[in-house]
Structure formats: C-alpha cells, structure tokens
C-alpha cells in the first residue's frame, strides 16, 4: 500500500518555493557581496553555481584563488516556516559538535544567522567551506556495477568508522545537541524531526501545537509519542487512505506499531539512556569523495539537518541505504523478499567492514562490551531494524508493518478498537470525498 502527501498542501508549498526561488535569483549579487563581507575579504566574489538539495539550496561563491564557499538556505515552502530558524540552529550546533568530538570530515562553518540577518531577509543561512568531490553514491554504484568489491569494502570501512565514532557520543536526553552557557554540550530542546516538518508542511491543518515542547528523557515516552503522532496523522490527512480497506489497514498498522514498542524496547534501565545522535541521512548521497593515491577517499560528509540524539538502538541499526534504494519505496512496489535479495548480501559485506573498523580501534576506544557489528546483526535478525524504520517515518509505517512485521492473526482487534476503526474508516471516506472535490475545483491532478 502507498501513502502520499496532501497534494493541496504540496502545491501551496511548491508555489511558495517558486516565488522564493525567484527572490534568491534576483538577490544573487547581493548574496555574493554579503558573503564577501562576512568573510572579510577584499577579493571580489563571483557566483559559480547552485547546488540543489531536497530541503536546501546552496550557492557556490568563489573569491578567486583565495577562497570558495557555499551559502546554504533552507527552502521556503519545503521547510515549514515555523521551523526555519530551529532547523538551521540545530544543524549548525551539530556540525560544530562533530568537528570538536570526532574526525568525521565535515565542512567548516564560517558564519551563520537568522532570516532577518540574511540578504533580502531570504532565509536563515549557513556559510561553510566548499569541498571539491564527487557524490559518493555515483562512485559507489559504479564500483558495484563493475564488481570492484575490494574498493566497495574500503568505502564501507570508512563509513563504518564514522558510525563507530558517532555511537560513542552519549547523552541523557532525546533532542538536538546544543551548547549551554558554560560551553558544555547538552540536550534540552525538543527533537525536531523530518516527520514533524512533513506533517507541518504537506498535511493541511495538522495540529502543530501537539508537537513536543521539550526534550524527552525516556525512550518509552518518546516512542509512544511517535506512535501517537502516527495515529493523529491518520485522523488528519484527508487523502491518507483511498478506500475503506486502506483506512482499516492504516488503523491496524499504526495501532500495532504502538503495541510493538514493549516487544522491541522492553522497559529497563536503558529507558533513560544513553541516547546517541542518529543521522538518518548519513549515506553516500550526502558524502563527497575523490581518488587520492589510487584509493577512493571520502572527503566530506554533508547534510546533518534534523539530527537528534535518539534511543541508542537507532544508532545500532545497520545502514538502511545499503541496497541503494529506500526500504519504504522498495516495499511499496515489490515484496519484502525482493528487498532482502538486494540488501542482505550488502549487509553481510558491511558488517565485515564494521568488524575490521572495530579491530582497528585503539584500546582506549574499545569500551563497548558488545561490538557494533554484533548489535547491527541483532537489529536485522530481530526485525528491530524494521520497527525503528517505521516508527521514524510516518509515511512508511503502514507498508513496513504489513510487509515486514505483520504476523497472521495480528489484525484481530478488541471490540472497542473494532468500533473505533469502523468510525475512522467512515470518517476517512468522508474526508477523501471532500478532498477530491477540492482538488477538482482547484484543478489539481490526483494519484492513488
């Protein structure tokens, strides 16, 4: 089954983005001057190119042979307006934290500020080093196509090392990493997630006042919040289900996810931490690499937006991207077995790379009683990998449940839930009819 965005909200966001992008283009010269002032250089700047991302636009600006930087703006209409400043501040702090606590190659931040401080008040901004390199996903796919597995091993080992470094970063709450007045790194603010941004930007009338206000100090509390967020999402998005059967399947999947929390996260001392930064987008598409001395080396890891400390088990999951395709997207089109046929051989290869990376650690770094490779294997074997993926990604929760976690008989509900499901299914069909009529009136094409 496939869930999709609200086309009305999505079109409104696209219209806002188009108007904003035109303002960015019109302000190019002002932006170049602004960056030069922030860098305190007398060398004239020159706009080189745009680098587009899903949530951001980057302008590459060159100052002769002296310096080349990018200025990064979150896209209005894609990032919910209420989250713009929060998103940028959280990313800046996490990049600064990684630069201080790890040797992961992240770009150096040169300056950052609010929308009011930006050229033409476009959007909050980050100015950071521009790093030459090719997107690693392109290079890795070519290596795999050419069956150069020894070189794939070297790439995997570098990424495994980054994941190892991050797995050692422990906190006592769930949320974004920040610095307190004493200069200590801490977590006190609410977690801002990709899912929250999507609910606020591509679901009409989602009650954003019900988002968290502060950090979580309990794994159970956080996971129950996320499960409830998915249930509220089902009630609010008018085109989430396209038939009574769809609505019932969504209802069952989202309630079962809430009931599965205790299975995958039995209450224990670990409920109160440690919590570890989880970087969902730590993947080849957000890494730059180049050949140095005949070996492919990762030279930059990018895009740490929406990173929060999360239950440690998230950091113990194997990478979801190993099959070079989104698990949720794959399950929408094919069977679980088709995904596993692509994923498992790469998982086995990555776990061997992780074991090598762990073996290379210094004795002072070998603090964990259980290896990260073993934890990752356990996550996959126990299906916690699938639970974690579904609980994080609200638009994947239904297909993940029915494809990977459902067992015969699980669809049986108590009498109260059966009655609630019947009412929800009826409500969803009424919502869908109103939604489709509004789309027709606006001339918006629909799918599903």
Mean pLDDT of 58-85: 94
Average pLDDT over residues 182-204: 94
- Whether 367 and 345 have beta carbons less than 8 Å apart is answered as no
Phi, psi for residue 407 in degrees, rounded to 5: -125, 145
- Is the distance from CB of 381 to CB of 190 less than 8 angstroms? no
Give pLDDT, residue 141.
Answer: 95
pLDDT at 156 over 90: yes
Confidence at residue 368, expressed as pLDDT on a 0 to 100 scale: 66
| Confidence tier at 366 by pLDDT (50, 70, 90) | low
Can you give the pLDDT at residue 252?
95
Cα–Cα dist 251/411, whole Å: 10
- Domain 7-130 class, CATH top level: alpha beta
Structure confidence at residue 364 (pLDDT): 63
Rounded to an integer, the average pLDDT of 92-97 is: 97
The share of the chain scoring above pLDDT 90, in percent, equals: 88
* Chain mean pLDDT for the chain: 94
pLDDT at res. 343: 97
Q: Which of 114-123, 150-159, 355-364 has the lowest mean pLDDT?
A: 355-364
388-436 pLDDT per residue, tens: 999 999 999 999 999 999 998 877 788 899 999 999 999 999 999 999 9
Where are the chain's structural domains?
7-130, 135-415
Per-residue pLDDT band at 328 (split at 50, 70, 90): very high
Q: How much is the pLDDT for 1?
A: 63
Query: What confidence tens digit (pLDDT) does each residue in 220-232 have?
Result: 999 999 999 999 9
The pLDDT, as a whole number, for residue 188 is 95
| pLDDT level of residue 324 (50, 70, 90 thresholds) | very high
Q: Give 141-193 as a DSSP string.
A: HHHHHTT-HHHHHHHHHHHHHHHHHHHT--BSSBS--EE-TTS-EE--SPPP-
**pLDDT on residue 65:** 80
Which residues does 130 contact at the CB level (< 8 Å), separation at least 6? 60, 68, 69, 70, 107
Q: Does residue 273 register a pLDDT over 90?
A: no
């Amino acid at each position: 089954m496939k869930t999709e965005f609200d086309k009305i909200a999505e079109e409104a966001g696209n219209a806002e983005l188009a108007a904003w992008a035109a303002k960015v283009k019109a302000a190019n010269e002002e932006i170049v001057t602004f960056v030069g002032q922030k860098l305190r250089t007398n060398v004239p700047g020159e706009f080189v190119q745009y680098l587009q991302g899903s949530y951001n636009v980057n302008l590459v600006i060159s100052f002769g042979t002296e310096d080349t930087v990018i200025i990064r703006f979150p896209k209005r209409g894609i990032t919910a307006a209420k989250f713009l400043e929060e998103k940028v501040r959280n990313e800046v702090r996490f990049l600064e934290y990684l630069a201080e606590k790890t040797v992961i190659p992240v770009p150096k931040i040169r300056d950052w500020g609010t929308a009011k401080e930006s050229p033409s008040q476009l959007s909050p901004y980050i100015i950071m080093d521009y790093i030459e390199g090719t997107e690693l996903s392109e290079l890795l796919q070519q290596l795999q196509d050419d069956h150069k597995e020894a070189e794939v091993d070297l790439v995997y080992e570098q990424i495994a090392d980054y994941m190892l470094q991050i797995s050692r970063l422990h906190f006592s709450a769930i949320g974004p990493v920040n610095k307190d007045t004493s200069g200590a790194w801490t977590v006190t603010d609410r977690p801002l997630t990709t899912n929250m941004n999507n609910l606020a930007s591509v679901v009409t009338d989602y009650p954003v006042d019900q988002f968290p206000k502060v950090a979580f100090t309990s794994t159970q509390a956080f996971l129950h919040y996320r499960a409830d967020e998915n249930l509220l999402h089902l009630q609010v998005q008018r085109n989430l289900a396209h038939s009574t059967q769809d609505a019932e399947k969504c209802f069952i999947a989202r309630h079962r996810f809430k009931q599965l929390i205790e299975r995958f996260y039995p209450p224990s001392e670990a409920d109160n931490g440690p919590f570890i930064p989880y970087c969902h987008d730590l993947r080849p598409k957000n890494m730059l690499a180049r050949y140095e001395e005949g070996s492919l080396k990762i030279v930059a890891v990018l895009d740490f937006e929406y990173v929060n400390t999360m239950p440690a088990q998230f950091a113990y999951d194997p990478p979801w991207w190993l099959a070079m395709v989104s698990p949720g997207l794959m399950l929408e089109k094919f069977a679980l077995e088709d995904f596993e046929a692509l994923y498992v051989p790469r998982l086995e290869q990555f776990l061997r790379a992780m074991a090598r990376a762990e073996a290379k650690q210094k004795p002072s770094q070998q603090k964990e009683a259980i290896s990260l490779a073993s934890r990752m294997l356990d996550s996959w074997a126990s299906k916690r990998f699938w639970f974690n993926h579904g609980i994080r990604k609200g638009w994947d929760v239904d297909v993940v449940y029915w494809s990977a976690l459902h067992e015969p008989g699980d669809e049986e509900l108590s009498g109260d839930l059966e009655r609630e499901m019947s009412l929800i299914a009826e409500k969803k069909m009424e919502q869908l009819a109103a939604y489709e009529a509004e789309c027709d009136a606006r001339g918006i094409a629909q799918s599903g």
